[in-house]
Amino acid sequence: MESFSQTTTSVIRNFSKWPTLILSVMLFVFVSFTSAQAAHSKPLVVSSTTMITDLVNQIGADLIESKGLMGPGIDPHYYRATFNDMRLLRRADLVFYNGLGLEGRMAQVFYNLSALKPTVALGEQLDPQQLLVINGVVDPHIWLSVPLWHKVAEEVKTQLIAHFPEHQFTFEQNFAKLAGELNELHDWVLNEVAQLPDERRKLVTAHDAFGYYGQTYDLEVIAIQGLNTEVEFGLAALQRVKQIVTEYHIPAVFAESTLPTRSVNALINGLAAEGYQLKLGGELLSDALAVAGQPGDTYQSMIRYNTLTIIDALR
């Protein structure tokens, strides 16, 4: 059995090692902390819609951490920020949103955020002369015109370079690749729509999201619901569309991935009761991209998917 003096000596010897032990623990914690910081050292760019997130992903690539607030199938007109969204926005180095009233329920959030960090309403950087105004309201669905979205992509590139200039060369390279693809996509859509005779170039949709698409690609858009999906369609609007469909012998109406099918079903059933067979032409991607792995999960494939769906149903 150890004596008191032996025990005291042993404690003193062990005590002499404590500073080294404490230093080792502190070093381990520091390394772990700095490693965690390094893993998250990429600038964080947060975007509102899936279309904007896709642009940021294509131009920023792996040089940034890109996060989107809204996922596939989410209607941005209705969307409210969640607690996790607010945490993400507080961490962000740069924030992009569409603007022009699209994210109506988040307008105050973005306004307040703009006083704290770079917060860019991409649609509001465009030339106002290029924007559609319907009944005094600016149409926010700018991504459905490829040339207009090309300008938005350029603004994303410009903002990324302004805030993270060390990556300018790569951002410019990625944008140049994307710009080439968008030019090819625009030409492809023009050629596809050219297959339709003039009398078949009437696009009936659930809500008025395709105005820019129609203007760019020479299609007349007839919508059951207005620009804002928060405003329900009425019987007068339904009757107006029924008259246009029967007058011009329109063969199909299109649902949208972010909206219930109530208005479309009401139109089809109402016409069926009058002896007119209007078919469902398919479901278009209007306000959000598709789920990853499905047709339309990138901006370019979204435009291709929509165009093929429209042409197949109206041809």
One DSSP character per residue, 42-67 reads SPEEEESSHHHHHHHHHHHGGGSEEE
- What helix, strand, coil percent values describe the chain, rounded to 5? 55, 15, 30
Of the options 3.40.440.10, 3.30.830.10, 3.40.50.1980, 3.30.479.10, the CATH number for the domain spanning 196-314? 3.40.50.1980
> What pLDDT sits at residue 233?
54
What letter represents residue 48's amino acid? S
Ranges of residues in the chain with a pLDDT under 50 are 1-39, 227-231
Q: What pLDDT does residue 135 have? A: 86
For residue 309, give the DSSP letter.
Answer: H
The torsion angles phi and psi of 293, rounded to 5 degrees, stand at: 95, -10
Helix H or strand E segment including 243: helix 235-248
Q: Do domains 44-190 and 196-314 have the same CATH topology?
A: yes
Q: Where are the domains of the chain?
A: 44-190, 196-314
pLDDT the model gives residue 145:
98
Q: Both tokens of residue 164?
A: 């993270």
User: What are the pLDDT digits (tens) for 16-49?
Assistant: 444 433 323 332 333 344 333 434 589 999 999 9
Judged by phi (left if over 0) then psi (alpha if -120 to 50, else beta), residue 157 lies in alpha
CATH number, span 44-190: 3.40.50.1980
**Given this model, what pLDDT does residue 18 score?**
41
Contact 74, 258 (CB under 8 A): yes
Interatomic CA distance for residues 15 and 22, integer angstroms? 11
**3-class SS of residue 214:** helix
